[in-house]
Amino acid sequence: GQNIDQPTEMTATEGAIVQINCTYQTSGFNGLFWYQQHAGEAPTFLSYNVLDGLEEKGRFSSFLSRSKGYSYLLLKELQMKDSASYLCAVLDGGATNKLIFGTGTLLAVQP
Amino acid sequence: DGGITQSPKYLFRKEGQNVTLSCEQNLNHDAMYWYRQDPGQGLRLIYYSQIVNDFQKGDIAEGYSVSREKKESFPLTVTSAQKNPTAFYLCASRWDIENTEAFFGQGTRLTVV
């Protein structure tokens, strides 16, 4: 089977740091993506991990542990515009290469 | 400009009618995907296609059908067999190799009355 889990909602303060976790169980693995989605809009790509470790891209970093089936997205110096849903997605791999999304985490940034 | 286009943005249909959602991309991507998103939820995979004239069912394919006659087009038909079709539908495409992200269209919000 396949399962990708994230917390449903999180709240953080402007200027702070927040970590959004994602755990996954999939039949295969060809990489993990993080997307940001504002309400009523299309998701936009944030980061990609396929090897264990941390990938840093400006205020956003993403970490992967394949052995634990675990990833997190770290957002630093939070801004009000970071209020959005954050989606974790796994490329299932194998012959079919399905792209499967988690349930999404709605982040609210407060002043 | 290269991109992925969904049309229309808003669509209203009467219950019992079939409706087709358009998805076109000029990015020369191999793989295309259809997702459904309900309020406050993540994306659920309906169908996907890695190559022309071939497609696979996702997790919630019942009540939907697709075709992939051309590389750039992947239309989704919501049939009358879909019990609860009102939702936000998103189409995506990507190169079918490991480290490439999916690009999304702007979505179609379907309301069945």
Closest by Cα among A107, A93, A88, A96 to A23:
A88
Here the tokens at position B61 are 């394919």
- Across the interface, do A96 and B50 touch by the CB < 8 Å criterion? yes
Digit-coded pLDDT (tens) for B20-35: 999 999 999 999 999 9
How many angstroms separate the CA of residue A10 from the nearest CA in chain B?
Answer: 13
Binning pLDDT at 50, 70 and 90, where does residue A97 land?
confident
Strand order of the sheet with strand A60-65? A3-5, A18-25, A70-75, A60-65, A53-57
Here the tokens at position B39 are 């309020």
- Across the interface, do A42 and B104 touch by the CB < 8 Å criterion? yes
User: What is the residue-wise DSSP string for A74-89?
Assistant: EE-S--GGG-EEEEEE
Digit-coded pLDDT (tens) for A17-64: 999 999 999 888 989 999 999 998 999 999 999 999 999 999 999 999
Q: Which chain B residues have a beta carbon less than 8 Å from that of A50? A: 98-99
Closest by Cα among B25, B100, B93, B60 to A33:
B100
- Across the interface, do B102 and A42 touch by the CB < 8 Å criterion? no
For residue B1, pLDDT over 70 is answered with: no
Contacts of residue B30, defined as CB under 8 A and 6 or more positions apart, other chains included, come to B50, B51, B71, B94, B95, B96
